[in-house]
């Protein structure tokens, strides 16, 4: 997947925006970062819940791994989007979005997607 497709997916969630963060592109919900992209290294990082991180990294080690520092222990996860299809990227980014979104936004999003 190319960055533009990733960007479209990340910004498809309600109330999200894109900002520069330490020379990287960050995707945010209510000022909280749920994903970053480094254009210099083509590296994508997502913030997953700890249990989600364990589950996804164990299941998909070829594209997901914890960031190798203290941030990785908090759920920050390297994500190789170049070897992932749209539906998989959507599921991972959705998990990151829901992990960081305020409860009201998260519940509303889940309610709206269940009924559609």
In SS3 terms, 24-81 reads as: EEEEEECCEEEEEEECCCCEEEEECCHHHHHHHHHHCCCCEEECCCCCHHHCEEEECH
Phi, psi angle pair for 37, to nearest 5°: -135, 130
How much is the pTM? 0.92
With contact defined as beta carbons under 8 Å apart, do 73 and 97 qualify?
no
Domain boundaries, given as residue ranges, for the chain = 3-103
Q: Can you tell me the mean pLDDT for 60-72? A: 96
Task: Tell me which CATH code domain 3-103 carries.
Answer: 3.90.1150.30
What are the C-alpha distances in Å from 57 to residues 6, 11, 25, 110?
A: 19, 24, 23, 24
Reply yes or no on whether the pLDDT at 112 is more than 90: no
Q: How far apart are the C-alpha atoms of 60 and 85, rounded to whole Å?
A: 13
pLDDT tens for 75-108 read 999 999 998 999 999 999 999 999 999 999 999 9
- Greatest alpha-carbon pair distance for the chain in Å reads 40
pLDDT tens for 48-59 read 999 999 999 999
pLDDT tens for 15-28 read 999 999 999 999 99
Per-residue pLDDT at 81: 94
Per-residue pLDDT at 116: 59
């Amino acid at each position: 997947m190319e960055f533009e497709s990733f960007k479209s997916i990340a910004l498809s969630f309600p109330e999200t925006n894109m900002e520069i963060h330490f020379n990287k592109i960050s995707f945010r919900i209510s000022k909280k970062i749920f994903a970053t992209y480094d254009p210099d290294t083509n590296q994508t990082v997502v913030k997953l819940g700890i249990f989600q991180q364990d589950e996804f990294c164990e299941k998909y080690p070829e594209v997901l791994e914890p960031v190798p520092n203290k941030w990785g222990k908090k759920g920050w996860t390297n994500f190789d989007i170049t070897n992932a299809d749209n539906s998989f990227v959507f599921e991972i980014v959705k998990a990151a979005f829901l992990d960081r979104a305020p409860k009201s936004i998260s519940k509303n999003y889940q309610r709206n997607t269940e009924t559609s």
